Chains A and B, each alone.
Chain A
Amino acid sequence: MLRSQQRGVLPGFRLTLGYTLLYLSLIVIIPLAATFVKSSELSWAQFSQTVFSPPALAAYRLSFGASFLAAAVNAIFGFIVAWVLVRYDFFGKQFVDALVDLPFALPTAVAGITLATLYAPNGWLGGWLAPFGIKVSYTQLGIFIALTFIGLPFIVRTVQPVLADLDSELEEAAASLGANRWQAFWRVIFPMLSPALLTGFSLAFARALGEYGSVVFISSNIPMKTQIVPLLIMGELDGFHLARATALAVVMLVISFLLLLAINLLQWWSNRYNATNPA
């Protein structure tokens, strides 16, 4: 008779799995389930009226659009920052490296106020842009900038270690096979980094979706124009419409979950070559 239970070398499987489930339940699953429960107090008509109202639809578009755009821009520029930090030695490198983490540490409200002031039409940076008719503060562009600010460290910090571990022999091999630097980058380096880049992208995207503190200051928060979903939810809460607020939250949750799941699948696919079983 075969024993059904396999004994592994690493002890503590049950303990760690049990802890993981408990932790996830207390911190993530139960609070999220509560939003579903609370929103179910609404009838279907009330629910759809809340979540499909024109301001709500405009807010979804803005939230997901600006977050996606900010994460995409960060993916490009964060990649360049990581590249510079890993590949080159220059004076003040440690300083720049520390700077990258600031958006993590700074209270987002401070960031929002600072950005709003700088980019206001009479601000240091906004003053230069105003003559060209470019308004940043209190517009959708401002929201995009705030979301870019808070998302930057995610890309840099996920790409940086993978890039640092990349074997220089791979580039040398590509060169000895006749590849120029551009081909070596696109055919060898970039594909090796893309799983990390996707991880960073999904983290930055998720972070931007939930961002509230900085946007509330840099945006004018006008419904249909510059109102993101978290603001809409806060508005409902201020009016003591708790169930309606959770209904919006539920929609946010479901869409976010589906998007992140899609990114994870993409990431799994881009990392498929690390599978060790013969195909």
Chain B
Amino acid sequence: METTNSFTPTVARLFLVVYALFAAFPLYWTLNTALKPLELINTFPPTFVPSDPTLEAFAWVVTNSRAVSSIIDSLIIATGTTVLSVVLGSMAGYAFSRYGNAVGGENVSFWLLSTRMFPPIAIVLPMFFIFGWLNLQDTHMGLILLYLTFNLPLSTWLMRDFFDKIPHSFEEAAYVDGYSRLQAFWKVVLPLVRPGLIATTMLSWVFAWNEFIFALIITGNDVEPYTTIIPTLILSNQILWGRIMAMAVIVTLPPTLILIAFRKHIIEGMTLGITEV
């Protein structure tokens, strides 16, 4: 009995160790490749520890004007769309949470969430031509609006969920104390929902930051988010792995730091409010 009992835990722990190596290796390889001199990237057997690490690739990213301006473009777009989606989403989320039945309740909020699930190609195909007429192609504003298609439903759904966790009695007590509805919202509800607000903000930002297909189709000349220049980092059929991976390290760092700093709330947001760890 004792031996069979220790069998499962051992296998389970072994499985975790093996999977952890599998999960961690590409993270390590991103950094490793970024630090390698170009001639060592494709060699066989691979150099697992860079013998001659160089910051050349990183230096290229931070001095190349196209790379730098692409990161700035991504920053502008991700931040702009986040502000809009969190403001509009909080308003709608609050209404769905507090006046659910008056505004269609579960059905409407779910319908809103479901628009997020549409294939982006279905949205961007008509939008490409509409943006052509409105002169929004190749602009920050165009992508900021387009990213609302996935971020606004997400922030509405998440904020509804976060507001639901704050008992109505808090506002009712504030009303009894003579607060107006707006005051009650600003001074009582908003401070309580702040962690949820942060999670929604961070997630919206990360999704917009990492987006590719809309950016590929709508922008490309004046405005180039970083995802659109990664496929172009090629020199006569030779993929410039070092530069791409240096860029990958730089652009993956902000979302990763966000995850580590706000782990609890990011997890809740990532799973649409299902999981609280």
- A, B bound: no
A interface residue numbers (CB < 8 A to B): none
B interface residue numbers (CB < 8 A to A): none
